[in-house]
Structure 1
Amino acid sequence: MKEKPLEAGAGLVWERPEPPGRTAPGPLSRDGIVRAAMAIADAEGLVSVSLRKVAAALDAGPMRLYGYVATKEELLDLMVDAVYGEMVSAGPIRGEWREALRSTAHRIRGAAGAHKWFIELVAVGRPNMGPHTLAFLEASLAALSDAPGFKDIDTILHAVRTVSVYAIGAIQSEARDLRVERESGMDEAQWQESFWPYLQRVIATGRFPMIARVVRDAIHPKPEAMFDQGLDCVLDGIAARLSR
């Protein structure tokens, strides 16, 4: 007997009970489905994730999956929440407030490095409200609860949100550069070499003195160093706000 797909509004996927266990043709679980989907996304990209492909990886009929997830959107939400679960499993966020916020940012960057598709999902749409996502937010907020200067919840929330938004934006920029490199077939040095004659002509006009300084004098650090430099600017801004 085929299982009927659930209606999209049939309760939140986080709280919806799973179907009764079955041993034939093979056991399934919501977690197993999510892990299979994540493996496909890690290996082939987010575009390759579909309920049909996940079912094939689990040697199950696609209709069986609908007992666990009603839509692909629910599956993507579960994948994001699973990544937040990995971030939570790294342990409590400790240290003085700068160290705590730095840890929050680096956990997000680490997760995005392990799962290239992750930042694509968290950067669009409404915030994820899965249990692991909420647990990570709780840990990030709690890490500042006793820090000097963070006497009200709005100050704590603003600091955590600002650092998270910075981290997501910076990681998006890194991901864009990697995508362009992959699609063009040129690494950064090759791309710079191909554009260098054009830049020389532009700079020679004298209309772009600041860009000329960037090309001539800027350090152009590696992505990880650039991420930390930007994060330092954000943390310095929070510190200046606290001192007022």
Structure 2
Amino acid sequence: MTVWDRPEPPTRPVPLDRERIVAAAVALADEGGLAAVSVRKVAARLDAGPMRLYGFISTKDELFDLMVDAVYAEILSEERPGDWREALQGLAHRTRRAALRHHWLADLLGGRPALGPNGLAVTEATLAALDGLADVDTVMRAVETVSAYFTGAIRREVADLRAERDTGLSKTEWQRARGPHVTRTLATGRFPALAKAVYEGRHVDAETSFTTGLDWVLDAVAARLT
């Protein structure tokens, strides 16, 4: 039985419900990542005893499931997309924006499907936008392919932001500090393709890179769907 199948316990002297518990857990994760989330810490933030929380959740994994579903409420769009491409673009960009607000989300994206009501609603809306364009297996592979792209891109971007936070150096500052080493290494001539990329490649910001890669993936999906 999942956490969504179990009824909440009755109200007691300190009012608690899953919504308050999840909001407290999300706030802790936003401040210190998933490592900052524990039943004890959530209970302390709510001024309740840890055992009280076990009436609402059984494990930390259930708490994480609830947190992810809470963020899926931010990803779910009430606007009807114009076509399948707009639907997948919107899903990708809304997921990225959610992960930039909640860096811990990047650690929980991918893997097993999100089975909460908001996660299922996002999946339903996405599949509905592609319904009838191809057989169901092709549609599923298309969604999985786009999801794999934006999940990987989001994780990489969040990893850069975490490194910036931990080192106090932006990506550009980090690259500049290591410039002499890279220059000496490339001057050996052992890495000509890399040298060309470093010296001739155009720098783009994270959002531009994300959007460009997404467009390329969607172009490949379009070829399969047609």
TM-score range, shorter chain: over 0.9
Out of 113, 138, 141, the residue aligned to residue 155 of structure 1 is: 138
Q: In 2, Cα distance between the equivalents of 1:55 and 1:224?
A: 37
1:192 counterpart residue number: 175
Deviation at residue 86 of structure 1 after TM alignment: 2.1
Q: 2:10 aligns with which of 13, 20, 23?
A: 20
User: What residue number does 2:203 align with?
Assistant: 220
Q: Could you say what the CA RMSD is over the residues aligned between the two structures, in angstroms?
A: 1.4
Q: Does 1:109 align with 2:92?
A: no
1:180 to 151, 163, 183: 163
Aligned-pair distance for 1:16? 0.2
Query: Aligned with 1:143: secondary structure?
Result: helix
- Determine if contact 1:42/1:115 at 8 Å carries over to the other structure: yes
Deviation per CA, 1:187-229: give whole Å up to 9, x if none: 2222112211111112212221111111111112000000001
Secondary structure of the equivalent of 2:178? helix
Structure 2 residue aligned with 1:7: none
The normalised TM-score by structure 1 is 0.88
Say whether the 8 Å CA contact 2:100–2:158 is kept in structure 1: no
Q: Which amino acid aligns with 1:73?
A: D
Shift of 1:102: 0.6
- Correspondence list, 1:12-91, <5 A: 12-22=2-12, 24=13, 26-88=14-76, 90-91=77-78
**Contact kept? 1:34, 1:78, Cα under 8 Å:** yes
State whether residues 93 and 103 of structure 1, in contact with CA within 8 Å, keep that contact through their aligned partners in structure 2: no
Cα contact 1:83–1:111 (8 A) shared by 2: yes
Task: Return the alpha-carbon distance in structure 1 between the equivalents of residues 83 and 73 of structure 2.
Answer: 23
Percentage of matched positions with identical amino acids: 54
1:236 aligned onto 2:212: no
**1:89-100 paired onto structure 2 within 5 Å:** 90-100=77-87
For 1:216 and 1:186, locate their aligned partners in 2 and report how far apart those are by CA, in whole Å: 22
TM-score by length of 2: 0.94
Paired position in structure 2 for 1:122: 109
- CA deviations 1:114-167 (Å, max 9, x no partner) are 2111111124x5332222111110111111125xxx221112211111111111
Tell me if structure 1 keeps the 8 A contact 2:134–2:225: no
Number of residue-to-residue matches in the alignment: 226
Q: What residue ranges of structure 1 are gaps of 5+ in the alignment?
A: 1-10
Equivalent in the alignment of 1:6:
none
> 5+ residue gaps in structure 2?
none
Instruction: Say if 1:93 and 1:140, in contact at 8 Å, map to a contact too.
Output: no
Partner of 1:171: 154
Name which of 132, 139, 143 aligns with 2:129. Answer: 143
* C-alpha distance in 2 between matches for 1:32 and 1:212: 53
Cα distance, 1:93 vs structure 2? 4.4
The CA distance in 1 between the partners of 2:178 and 2:9, in whole Å, is 57
